[in-house]
Structures are given as C-alpha cells and as structure tokens.
Amino acid sequence: FLHLIASFLITCISLIFNALAWKYLLELFKFNGAKINTVKLYLKSNILKYLPGGIWHFVDRIRVLRQSNSSIDSFVLVALEPFLMLIAALLWIPFGQINIFIRITSLFPLLIIIPKSREIIFNRFLVYMQGKLIKSNIINTNLDSPEEMKKNYNKFPFKPLLLEMIFILSRFIGFFLCLKAFNISNHLYFFDWISTFAFAWICGLIVPGAPGGIGVFEATFLLLTGGIVIEGPFILSLLCYRIVSTLADITMYSLSRLIKNKRIIYSK
C-alpha cells in the first residue's frame, strides 16, 4: 500500500511537469494571453481526455486560447504539446532491450534538431491532428500551407522537451512502484521496463478513439511482456496503475479549480 500511495503522489507530480512543459511552449512561441493561467487550464482540461474520442482536452484548450489568438495559432499551440510528448517517449525507448528495429526507429525524432526536418515532421503532425478535429467538427481552418507556420520553427523547444522527458520518467516511476507493490519489478531490468512502458504509452496516445489510452496501453504491455512476467499479478499491477493514474487526473483537476486566476505568463 505504501508503494501504491507513493505511485499516486508521483503520478500527480508528473502532471505538473506536463503542464509546465506546455507553459514554456507557449512562452517560447510568444503566446498572446497574459491573463490566462495556462497551468490551471492544462490540469483542468486534462480530465476531458477520458471522454469518447480522446480529443476533448485539446478542444477545450483551443477554445480558451482562441479568445486571445487566431484559430491557427491556437491550434498550433495545442497540437505541439502532444507532438513533444510523443518525441519525449520515443527517446526513452532505446535505453532498453526492446526489438532492435523499434529502438532504431525511435531515434528518428532526433531529426527535429534540424530546422528543415522539424518543419516537415511538424507539418505532417499538424495535418494528422487537424484531421482528428475536423472529423469531430471542431475546426475547419486550412493548415496545409507551411508558409503560415514557419515562424514556429525558428527556435527548438529544448526546455519543454526536457520537461516532457521528465514527465514520461515520472509516469514510469509511478508505474514501476505499482510493479513493486506486487513484487514483479525484478522480472526485467529497470531500463527494459522504462523502454517497454514508453512504447506502450505511445500506443495508448496515438490509437484513435481510446480515451486516455485505456485498454491500448495495457494490451500493448501484455503483448510485449508475454511469457516473461507472471500474468496474474502483472494484470493486477496494470489495473492498479490505471486506477492510480485516473485518481491522479481527478485529484489534479480538483486542485486546479482551487487555483486563483492570475498572471503567470509575461508577469513582471
């Protein structure tokens, strides 16, 4: 129970790292909206990812940002955050002994260090995100022209990316504590666990229509570790982690409602 309590606390803290990463992204791209508490907005809207479709937390952020920014800028400011989360998770994969092809492929995101490659990769991601939102009748803005978006590729978001990697690491530590609660963490090396966790987490993030990655994350993990761990206790640990992460989202949502609105961007 102490392991599960510690897992819950660390998972709550991980959401703060995630919110701060988005905050620094907005600052980097000269976000126009000094009166918006972006940390509160992030934590408050995060609970909406559990609604069918898995995109409503993005929708709520776009709705708020659009009050002070253009539709295109609001969309980009929101879409870049899961883009960086995806890259951060991929960069943890090579640390383990997962399939060599997956490890090599996970290094491709390093191409975003090159401005031209960053422009191409991000534009493709924008088209993907736009398609998801258009299907839900959320936006109808054409973002296919890269000329409109070049201003967003001038600076590489090192600080937000580092925070996203810390976010993934802290999420994993929360999961690892759930494994220790059932005494199965020694079935794989620590870095093998984090590598497998990152891959399963990515699958839960990108599979369409999976609210919060529910089911996809667990199924991927079971597939990758089949025959290595004892299935019964491992399924219980996965169930406990899902409960812990959901309770953390609810807790941080509740705490965010207690945060007073104040200037946290460009405040002097």
Q: Measure the CA angle with vertex 232, ends 228 and 233; round to 5°.
A: 85
Residue 52 and residue 28 in contact, taking contact as beta carbons nearer than 8 Å = no
Q: Give residue for tokens 């609604």.
A: 51
pLDDT of residue 209: 59
Q: Which of 114-128, 216-230, 242-256 has the lowest mean pLDDT?
A: 114-128
More confident residue, 1 or 261: 1
Token digits of residue 247: 């309770």
Residue 149 and residue 143 in contact, taking contact as beta carbons nearer than 8 Å = yes
Does the structure show a pLDDT above 80 at 237? yes
Token digits of residue 55: 């995109």
- Identify residue 47 by its one-letter amino acid code: I
More confident residue, 259 or 172: 172
More confident residue, 208 or 50: 50
pLDDT of residue 145: 45
pLDDT of residue 225: 82
Query: Can you tell me whether residue 236 is helix, strand or coil?
Result: helix
Q: What is the pLDDT of residues 20-51, one digit of tens each?
A: 999 998 888 777 665 778 889 999 998 988 88
Mean pLDDT for the chain overall: 80
Does the structure show a pLDDT above 90 at 15? yes
Q: What is the pLDDT of residues 134-179, one digit of tens each?
A: 665 555 555 544 444 455 555 678 889 999 999 999 999 999 999 9
Does the structure show a pLDDT above 70 at 1? yes
Confidence of residue 82 (pLDDT cuts 50, 70, 90): confident
Q: How far is CA 126 from the centre of its chain?
A: 16
* Cα distance between residue 75 and residue 123, in whole Å: 12
Confidence of residue 11 (pLDDT cuts 50, 70, 90): very high
Q: Give residue for tokens 């761990």.
A: 229
